[in-house]
Amino acid sequence: MAGKSINSKTKGKQRIRLPGGRSKVAVKQKRSSRVVCGVTGKPLQAVPQARSAKMQTISKSKRRPERPYGGVLSSMAARKLIIAKAREEEQ
Amino acid sequence: MIDVGRVCVKIAGRDAGKKAVVVEKIDSNFVLIDGQTRRRKCSISHLEPLNKTLDIKKGDSHDKIVAAFKTLNIDVKTTKPKTKKTERPRKVRKLHSKPKKVTKPKVEKKEVKEEVKEEVKEEVKKVVKKTVKKVATKK
């Protein structure tokens, strides 16, 4: 019987082929998806690809860029938004 | 467009979205800015100029710029100057003084033993001599 830690659904499973030809299920830690920009949909730079438990241990300044909309929008998307706001304010 | 006194919005970096005024033009690409942002050198490409201008002179101090911003009803937060942290008094750990061990001089003991051995030897010799004499007299 598989151990409780292996049977957990928090673990990712992958079928691998052994050198002898047999196939086996390898238990691996799940990987979180990359954080993407809310406007462009491109993966964000300087945001680590870590599980939420690991993210709690990382300092806030290492989790996302220090600029406004850091960790939500890419730098170019944020720049465009700020410019649009500034121009709107003027009118 | 970007001259001394021009109000701009910073669009890059941690001061993005904050308003600043051009204090000094360093060269064709860089200017010195001050206001809601930190007083710092900045690339022109990181600034979005606005229609507003402030009546300031080249290289004016931060206080004058804050006063000029008040005419446009823009608040500039002034941060307190950093004070040196005073070291808090730390408790000095008391060290328990261990009682000193009284060491007996080992060398003296050996000497005593040797002396005792020599005395015993001499006594034994005397006894042996006496017994030899007694045996001789009996014969």
* Helices and strands (H and E) in chain B: how many: 2, 5
- pLDDT of B105 reads 75
A77 close to B (CB below 8 A): no
Q: CA–CA distance from B52 to each of A83, B44, B64, B67 (Å)? A: 15, 17, 17, 15
Q: Smallest Cβ distance to B12: which of A79, A85, A87?
A: A79
**Segment A45-70, tens digit of pLDDT:** 999 999 888 999 999 999 999 999 99
A27 to chain B, closest Cα gap in Å: 42
Q: Counting one residue from A and one from B, how many pairs have CB atoms under 8 Å apart?
A: 28
pLDDT at B94 > cutoff 90: no
Mean pLDDT across A28-43? 92
**Nearest-angstrom CA–CA distance, A70 and A35:** 11
Topology classification of domain B6-71: SH3 type barrels. (2.30.30)
Nearest CA in chain A to B48: A83
**Segment B13-59, tens digit of pLDDT:** 999 999 999 999 999 999 999 999 999 999 999 999 999 999 999 98
| Average pLDDT of the residues of chain A | 91
Indicate the DSSP class of residue B44: G
pLDDT > 70 in chain B, percent:
94
The ipTM of this complex is 0.74
**Domain coordinates in residue numbering, chain B:** 6-71, 105-139
A68 close to B (CB below 8 A): yes
A73 close to B (CB below 8 A): no
pLDDT at B68 > cutoff 80: yes
**Contacts (Cβ under 8 Å, ≥6 apart) of B5:** B21, B22, B53, B54, B55, B56
Residues of chain A positioned with their CB less than 8 A from the CB of B51: 90
pLDDT > 70 in chain A, percent:
98
- pLDDT of B110 reads 62
For tokens 């004016």, the residue is B60
